[in-house]
A and B are shown apart, each in its own frame.
Chain A
Amino acid sequence: PADTFHNLQELHHSASLATKVFIQRDYSDSTICKFQTKFPAELDSRIERSLFEETVKTLNCYYGEAEKIGGQSYLEGCLACATAYIIFLCMETRYEKILKKISMYIQEQNEKIYAPRGLLLTDPIERGMRVVSFANTWDVFLSVGTTLKELCTIYKL
């Protein structure tokens, strides 16, 4: 049923409440989108420092490039103004293109680096670009497993 899947999603969120690591935003350069590269202590045993830093730095680069005020952003701004913003219906902005690149990158990083270590990197866009979170893959299964168990109990399977 639909609500079952919804519950599944919800449980996934609540899965690793104790073990998620959050990388907060770095506001030292005003409100541009940048994440702290400081290595959190909780990940000390889980992943190498260099890999972590490389991931966060690459993400910061992506976001910096997306928010850069330069040639293409001028062009987009003027074009949008000239067409009375109808262009937003037709065209995908540069930011959105880079966001897609970022999610591909995160997926690739998860597959190659983090999942083998039992971690899961989440896309910051899901949290309003406020944090990058590392979750435990074990907790994902945990939540799924317990959801199924409870569902069985409820439906008396």
Chain B
Amino acid sequence: MRRSSAYIPVSTAAALLVTSSTLFFVFTCPWLVVNVSPVFPSCVGIVFLFVMANFIMATFMDAGVFPRANEDEDKDEDFRAPLYKNVEVRGVQVRMKWCASCHFYRPPRCSHCSVCDHCVEDFDHHCPWVNNCIGRRNYRFFFFFLFLLSLTLHMGGVFSGGLLYVLDHPENLWELHAAVTLAVMSVSALFFIPVLGLSCFHLVLVARGRTTNEQVTGKFQGGVNPFTRGCHQNVQFVLFSPITPRTQAHSYNSQALNVQIAASHSASFPSPRVPQLSPQILPDKSLEEVDAPDSKRLTCPPPLPPKPDPVLLKNHLAALEESLLQSRLALMPSGHNMNPLQTSESPGKVLYQVPRDQMGSRISPLVPQEHVSEPSLLQPENHANALTLNSRSLSLKHSSRRGSQRAEIPHASQSVLSGPTGSLSYDSLLHPAGVQPAFLPMDPGLSRGSVDMQRLPARNCSPVFMHINREPSPVRYDSLPKPLMSSIQERREPDDKDKPVQDGGIYDTPSRRSLPQDFRGLSSSRGPTPPAYGSREFLLSSAAYGYRSRSHLSSSSSSSLTRAPRTASSPLHFNRSLSPSIYQSLDRQSQLPPSTLPAPLPTSSYGPQKALAYIRGGEKPEPEL
């Protein structure tokens, strides 16, 4: 998911390291071996070997990435669940923030890296020179790399200086050698000061038991650090604690085993309960498609030119109606679903709209396949079989949560189960019977359908607004400007993708200048950003959003509307230090070009909105399996 420009710093670092060292060994060391001592070059050689080993480990080792949470974990987190959860760590209250991209409350010291778009345990920072996050698992390698690198630089520089001093009588034979030595010396002198400074900084951090993230955001400036165990224990922890396993690799490996175990005990069930899923969960679960009416509200849908297939049209409208009904029921988005705009239970309904849109070109080949599968989907749907609907919508929701990429869209046509669009889960069960009969006798005329679709969003506008004004936001926010700015800032994050890379050099030095990047990279959690959450910010941000989407061709426009709004507008606990820099960074960001995610301008039609969100959801990178 990283752009190729993200590889420039790491390539530069690796190239410089290898080239300079090789030149040193080839040109300078023979003379040193003879004239100074054979021990010295061999020491330098060994240190260089360790520097490279640590560099490679820091670059390629998983930093302690948390895999994204399944949707089933969201059960407890309905739309009224708070943005922050307090937990006590050694007597100190620590706030765990809800991560909208990863769908869990971030453990203490965990942070979401916007460059890599995942949450990292004990997040230190994202280092562009190794093009990797530095976290719990690879911090020691990074630290050793720095320390040994500075040591090497020191040695190389000092002794090369000595060499040149001795060679003050230039002989023809040595001219090349002297020149090369001079070049290597200047390179090492150039990098010695920053690397030494960074090494000292990290030495202090390790001794104090802090991460770069915590130091730079000033988390423990006034208070006490609950994660420190004393200098000696801290050093011991960093250097000698066992390396925790790669959790991403283990995800979903043993599901088959679980099924097997469950199957083997099928005879010992106490009682096969009637699936209580629908009645139990319907009241709790708020619908993710709540965001759908928001996007509709922003852009008044004009008449759609749907396919002249009545069956498909009916399905599409049924899904639409369901989503609208649910949006009225519970406006505040639960915010966990990536594709709340996909109200239909089948990808066919969304994809169906796609070819008509500006962005449909990529997906249009799939549409014919969708037509085939559509009629077959009708039967279970028209039965108003709660069970079937439930499972399908569950599966769709889940698969959408899994971040299926666009490449998975072909699968959608074959099987509705893998369709990455379904976001209706429980609320679809609420009105399956109620909705479908309303549409079955509908005249499948084109004009009627378009008129209906036109009316539906319009009708939905007022309930949406009403809902916003009625329900108090469960998210705490101190004042309007800050959350608004944070929501704006989070929305602009997709434009900001290249920013952490460009400013990475700044990041590595502990200065206030790095705070904006830090804020972007660490506090907000997502690549595609969520919209503002909470009533006032929501309105303002949505308004700003609509403007921005039209003017900037931003890919995040509808996608962020569809995403979890829970995290936006959070009271920033480091407001003090960051507010001036936030504004600076926001100004900078406002001039940034649109993000790299391709997105055509969202038109005012409703269908494209859904399809856009569908594609957006499809573009989310799939977690490693």
Contact = CB atoms under 8 A, between A and B. Distances in A.
A4 B416 CA distance: 10
Contacts, number: 245
28 contacts: A13-B255, A16-B277, A17-B75, A17-B394, A22-B76, A27-B88, A28-B88, A29-B90, A30-B89, A30-B226, A81-B144, A84-B53, A93-B242, A95-B243, A110-B258, A111-B264, A118-B270, A123-B254, A126-B250, A126-B252, A126-B253, A138-B272, A140-B262, A142-B387, A146-B391, A150-B416, A154-B417, A156-B376
Interface in B382-437: 387-388, 390-392, 394-395, 397-399, 402, 411, 414-418, 425-426
Nearest to B253: A126
A69 B73 contact: no
Contacts of B159: none
Contact of A142 (B57, B108, B275, B398): B275
B241 A67 contact: yes
A31 B250 contact: no
Interface stretch (B64-72, B297-305, B490-498): B64-72
Contacts of B398: 10-11, 13-14
Interface string A118-157: 1010110111111101010111111110110111011010
B262 A131 contact: no
Interface string A66-79: 11110001101100
Nearest to B57: A85
Interface in A6-41: 6-7, 9-20, 22, 25, 27-31, 33
Given A15-B72, A31-B227, A153-B379, 12 more contacts: A3-B414, A13-B252, A19-B280, A20-B73, A20-B75, A111-B265, A115-B261, A126-B67, A127-B70, A128-B248, A150-B380, A151-B415
Contacts of B53: 84-85
B244 interface: yes
Most buried by B among A69, A95, A135, A146: A146
B102 to A, nearest CB: 9
B245 interface: yes
B242 A67 contact: yes
B90 A31 contact: no
Contacts of B416: 150, 154
Nearest to B70: A13
Q: Which are the 6 A-B pairs with shortest beta-carbon distances?
A: A146-B391, A14-B398, A115-B265, A84-B53, A7-B417, A18-B281
Interface string B271-286: 0110111001100100
Contacts of A49: none
Interface of B: 49-50, 53-54, 57, 65-67, 69-76, 87-90, 94, 104, 107-109, 121-122, 141, 144, 226-227, 229, 236-237, 239-245, 247-248, 250-259, 261-266, 268-270, 272-273, 275-277, 280-281, 284, 373, 376-377, 379-380, 387-388, 390-392, 394-395, 397-399, 402, 411, 414-418, 425-426
Nearest to B275: A142
The secondary-structure label for the interface of chain B is helix
B244 A11 contact: no
A54 interface: no
A142 B391 contact: yes
Interface size class of A (residues with CB under 8 A): 35 or more
A107 interface: yes
A9 B388 contact: no
Contact of B240 (A9, A77, A143): A77
A14 B72 contact: yes
A27 B87 contact: yes
A120 B334 CA distance: 27
Contacts of A126: 67, 247, 250-254
Contacts of B261: 107, 110-111, 115, 120
A79 B244 CA distance: 17
Interface of A: 1, 3-4, 6-7, 9-20, 22, 25, 27-31, 33, 66-69, 73-74, 76-77, 81, 84-85, 93-96, 99, 103, 107, 110-111, 115-118, 120, 122-123, 125-131, 133, 135, 137-144, 146-147, 149-151, 153-154, 156
Contacts of A156: 376
A10 B399 contact: yes
A33 B242 CA distance: 12
A149 B379 CA distance: 12
Contacts of A120: 258, 261-262
Contacts of A118: 269-270
A149 B388 contact: yes
B247 A125 contact: yes
A25 B391 contact: no
B273 A138 contact: yes
Nearest to A143: B391
A66 B242 contact: yes
B242 to A, nearest CB: 5
B380 A153 contact: yes
A7 B418 contact: yes
Most buried by A among B76, B108, B245: B245
Contacts of A143: 391, 394-395
Contacts of B272: 138
A12 B255 contact: yes
Most buried by A among B94, B265, B418: B265
Most buried by A among B50, B121, B242, B415: B242
A128 B394 contact: no
B418 A10 contact: yes
Nearest to A25: B107
A153 B379 CA distance: 8
A17 B388 contact: no
B274 to A, nearest CB: 10
